[in-house]
Amino acid sequence: MKRLLTRLAFYLFTAWAAITINFFIARTLPGNPVSALLTKFQGQIDSSAIASLTALFGLDKHQSLWDQYVAYWGQLAHGDLGISFSQFPVPVSTLIGSYLPWTLFLVGTATVLSFLIGTALGVLSGWRRGSWTDALLPATAFLSSIPYFWLGLIAISVLAGPASFFPGSFSYDQGLTPVWTPSFVANAVQHAILPAATIVISSMSGWLLGMRNMMVTVSSEDYITVAHAKGLSDRRVMFSYAARNAMLPSVSGFALSLGFIVSGTFLVEIVFSYQGVGTLLLQAIGADDYPLMEGIFLVITLAVLAANFLADLAYLLLDPRTRKEG
Amino acid sequence: MARLRRPKFLRNGKATAGALILLFFFILAVIGSWIAPYSPDATGPDAVVGPSGAHWFGTDQLGRDIYSQLLVGTRGVIVVGFAAGVIATVLSLVIGIASGYLPGRGGEALSVISNVFLVLPALPLLIIITSATPKDGGWIVILTIGLTSWAWNARLLRAQTLSLRRRDYVEAARATGESTWRIIAFEILPNLTAIIASGFVGTVVFTILSEITLAFVGINVSEWNWGTVLYWAQSQDALAQNAWWWFVPAGMAIALLGTGLALLNFGIDEFVNPRLRSGGRARVRTRAGRRLRMRVGFTPVLATVEEGEAR
């Protein structure tokens, strides 16, 4: 219990750090977004609107830094992330809200799959060292050094196309409306297969390598020899004795690699024009839409923190030692 | 004449292959802009044509030579990757060892800071920082990448330092009155060499991928690197035009460099931890003619195995 509280405190601290970083970056932005908006909508914005726009974007320089900081927290508490420059005047939170579910769907599925497949292969290759599984190492080293987005480009050019089963872009057919009907879900899944497979293939090798190294280390422990000596089946020793212990670092590493996978997913989304947060981020970069960029950073960071907390809970279930203390 | 002996580390096949690949790209980074047949920015009459004798890797939408862009871009990739890698490694050394060696609150605080940097998703953070700074100059990119990618390594170094600081030889050094700096520099640091080396290689892989990714999403594209080539390929719809020569060579170059670094890292890992070496064949034939699988943790006595006892 004590451990859980410590972790919770740590995540709260990290969230505070992310929000504060975000606040200070917003204050050091180059140029004045209001004047940028004015030039963009030449003549359409009344000059009297400048003052209200300045207040809206939180650019009021007369306030002290501390007051701005407090006001920023107040805005966040109401879920107000500011207003998008590029899609003026849509609030950032509305934009992110409509794109985020697709990213969560893609990242969630791909991460779980890659963790399961990578760990299983790692168990095998660590246990059967010296067999064909040794060839997995250089192969996965190659796959993991390919950037996600490039693998996506190749996947599209080889597998997708007008006549192919795999659609090359978007998260569902543009003629459909997103509702929970079987045909729509099937369509969305069909669109997700290629992007998800890309992420799984490039992120799998980390799990595989870590698991293999831990399996090799664990296999020479005494309790494995004892388990063998008791006459337990090879399979039982492999899964219940070696793999269960070798998996602990992987689970605690799960949390840490999540941020990495999220970054990769963004790029895959860009390549596949998938309607997720990554694509939104690309649009934001192209249009110098700072509020949108920062909103995305904040929301993604909070999501990653929440997922990390879940991984901590899983670790607590797997490792009885962590439950005993405290 | 005595034959030149390879250093012990390079007798490992994986490490040698990795080092050779790395050397190849180092040479390209130095001579790339001299041997490039065209200027990477020189436009030509043939837009988006496939590989030919005049343009080995084809041309882009302005008729610029992609082969030259890749050759010139190698320097950017190597310089940014390694410079950011050095910054990150030095930071991780200082923070990792300090947080492992310092007792009490100070060490804990440093550890919390590195955990914060580990958990924050790197790419969005990099993007908001680099897009908020002036666009000119790769130095901003180098600094930002270097300052955000040290945490993983610092964590490993902290763990190892924590386990070293209570070892007998360190206690002995402390008892003889050696100063803290001397203990860190001469007792602890040498035993971290392997972790530092493999951490550096891993960090360079990460910084190179970050740099290429930043260029790919359109940040700092005024300087040529492989990500810039991919940025133009993506934004000019190379896929829809079936212009495979536009993005395939750049990706292969990244993959080759990354594989080289990864192989080097396998070499270091196996040099340090002999258990990880692949070793010989797992199936051996016993004298009785049975085929037997060698299992980890077992040393079968090949001569006395009888039928039925092999399992």
For chain A, the residue count is: 326
Q: Which of B258, B275, B279 sits opposite A217 (nearest CB)?
A: B275
Contacts of B205 in chain A (CB under 8 A): 145
Residue B305: pLDDT band (50, 70, 90) is very low
Distance CA B150, CA B169 (A): 29
* A19 to chain B: closest CA residue: B120
What is the rounded average pLDDT for all residues in chain B?
81
Instruction: Domains for chain B: give ranges and CATH numbers.
Output: 8-283 (1.10.3720.10)
- Cα atoms found within 13 Å of the Cα of residue A269, Cβ hemisphere only: 28
Name the phi and psi angles at A31, rounded to 5: 70, 175
Residue B95: pLDDT band (50, 70, 90) is very high
For the CA atoms of A9, A14, A19, A24, what is the dihedral angle to 10 degrees? Answer: 130
At CA B249, angle to CA B247 and CA B254, rounded to 5?
95
Q: Which of B247, B282, B296 sits opposite A220 (nearest CB)?
A: B296
Distance CA B251, CA A207 (A): 23
Contacts of B297 in chain A (CB under 8 A): 219-221, 224-225, 228
- Cα atoms found within 13 Å of the Cα of residue A62, Cβ hemisphere only: 3
Residue B90: pLDDT band (50, 70, 90) is very high
B104: left (phi over 0), alpha (psi -120 to 50) or beta: left
Distance CA A94, CA A80 (A): 9
* A278 to chain B: closest CA residue: B124
Please tell me which residue, A308 or B87, carries the higher pLDDT value.
B87
Question: Are the beta carbons of A286 and A82 closer than 8 angstroms?
Answer: no
- Per mean pLDDT, which of A68-72, B58-62, B182-186, B237-241 is the most reliable? B182-186
- Identity of residue A180: W
- Identity of residue B242: N
Q: Which of B112, B127, B294 sits opposite A281 (nearest CB)?
A: B127
Please tell me which residue, A28 or B122, carries the higher pLDDT value.
B122
Please tell me which residue, A55 or B140, carries the higher pLDDT value.
B140
Question: Are the beta carbons of B208 and B258 closer than 8 angstroms?
Answer: yes
- Which of A157-161, B15-19, B104-108 bottoms out in mean pLDDT, i.e. has the lowest? A157-161
pLDDT 10s per residue in chain A (326 long)?
777 888 888 889 988 988 888 888 777 665 566 666 666 666 666 666 666 666 666 666 666 778 878 877 887 887 777 777 777 778 888 888 888 888 888 888 888 899 999 999 889 888 887 777 777 777 777 777 777 788 888 888 888 766 667 776 777 776 667 777 777 788 888 888 888 888 888 888 888 888 888 888 888 888 888 998 898 988 898 888 888 888 888 887 777 777 778 888 888 888 888 888 888 888 888 777 777 888 888 888 888 888 888 888 888 877 777 666 54
Contacts of B259 in chain A (CB under 8 A): 138, 141-142, 145
Element (H, E) at B283: strand B283-285
Name the phi and psi angles at B59, rounded to 5: -130, 165
Q: Identify the residue whose tokens are 């989304």.
A: A269
Q: Which tokens go with A99? A: 């794109």
Contacts of A21 in chain B (CB under 8 A): 125
| Residue B263, number of CB atoms within 10 A of its CB | 27
What is the three-state SS of A223-259? HHHHHHHCCCCHHHHHHHHHHHHHHHHHHHHHHHHHH
B281: left (phi over 0), alpha (psi -120 to 50) or beta: beta
DSSP letter at B284?
E
3-state helix, strand, coil split of chain B in percent (to 5) is 65, 5, 30
Question: Are the beta carbons of A258 and A81 closer than 8 angstroms?
Answer: no
Contact between A262 and B121 using a beta-carbon 8 Å cutoff: yes
At CA B85, angle to CA B115 and CA B22, rounded to 5?
135
Q: Which residue(s) pair with B65 in the sheet?
A: B59
How many beta-carbon pairs under 8 angstroms link A with B? 179
Residues 231-260 of B with CB under 8 A from A: 233-234, 239, 242, 244, 247-248, 250-251, 254-255, 257-259
Distance CA B310, CA B301 (A): 10
Does residue B206 have a pLDDT over 60?
Answer: yes
Contacts of B276 in chain A (CB under 8 A): 213, 216
For every residue of A120-159, DSSP letters joined together read HHHHHHHHTTTSGGGGHHHHHHHHHHS-HHHHHHHHHHHH
Does residue B223 have a pLDDT over 70?
Answer: yes
Q: How far is CA B184 from the centre of its chain?
A: 26
Distance CA A313, CA A315 (A): 5
ipTM > 0.90, yes or no: no
The pLDDT score that the predictor gives to residue A30 is 59
| Mean pLDDT to the nearest integer, B223-236 | 86
Instruction: Domains for chain A: give ranges and CATH numbers.
Output: 2-77 (no CATH), 93-323 (1.10.3720.10)
Residue B86: pLDDT band (50, 70, 90) is very high
Beta strands in A95-251 (DSSP E): none
Question: Are the beta carbons of B151 and B118 closer than 8 angstroms?
Answer: yes
Contact between B128 and A294 using a beta-carbon 8 Å cutoff: yes
Please tell me which residue, B186 or B278, carries the higher pLDDT value.
B186
